[in-house]
Amino acid sequence: MSKEGTLIDVRPMTILESALVIDDVETDLFQAVQLLENQSVAGTIDTAPTGRAAMDRLAGRKDYPQLILLELSAPHLGGLAFLDWLDQQPDEITRATRVILLTGMLGQKPFLLRKAMEYPHVIGCIEKPLEANLLHELLEEGWPAPMASNY
């Protein structure tokens, strides 16, 4: 506690090797990248405006980002189509990848959200705007104990 009696969170955030943010709304994309940078979530942060652009960037790579923030309702190959594609990639490439869904309309498309949450790489959903506390909670829950214990 500080002298004023305010609690200060001093948990060190584990830095992941890489993250990818997929969002077609520039302000949301910028805000997500800023939050990831400010929270030291990933050493490298890449962006893509659509699922198609993300697939093009990932095609042929031997490793995928550890964290993908995916706008569920993105145009030009939506979130479900991207998750279908990711699910078909070799396990040795995607084993360490976790997906957090982002949406600006959490209650408006419950079927879409329920379907997306069934994919094995998806660890949760955050309603925009992205918040640090929710991100930390999902990251702690989404990885095996050795990584989560570093928080």
CATH number for the domain spanning 28: value is: 3.40.50.2300
Q: Kindly state whether residue 148 falls inside one of the protein's structural domains.
A: no
Domain of residue 102, residue span: 18-130
Chain position carrying tokens 């925009």? 128
Q: Kindly state whether residue 55 falls inside one of the protein's structural domains.
A: yes
pLDDT of the residue at 125: 92
Of the candidate ranges 9-18, 20-29, 46-55, 121-130, the one whose mean pLDDT is the lowest: 9-18
Q: How many folded domains does the chain comprise?
A: 1
C-beta of residue 83 within 8 angstroms of C-beta of residue 116 = yes
pLDDT of the residue at 14: 55
pLDDT of the residue at 18: 95
N-terminal to C-terminal alpha carbon distance within the chain: 18
Q: Kindly state whether residue 151 falls inside one of the protein's structural domains.
A: no
pLDDT of the residue at 141: 85
Taking only the tens place, the pLDDT of each residue in 129-139 is 899 999 989 99
- Crossing angle of helices 79-87 and 51-58, rounded to 10°: 20
Q: Kindly state whether residue 143 falls inside one of the protein's structural domains.
A: no
Q: Kindly state whether residue 1 falls inside one of the protein's structural domains.
A: no
pLDDT of the residue at 110: 80
Q: Kindly state whether residue 137 falls inside one of the protein's structural domains.
A: no
Q: Kindly state whether residue 13 falls inside one of the protein's structural domains.
A: no
Q: Kindly state whether residue 108 falls inside one of the protein's structural domains.
A: yes
Average pLDDT over residues 13-34: 90
Cα(18)–Cα(117) distance, rounded to whole angstroms?
22
For residues 151 and 132, the model is more confident at 132
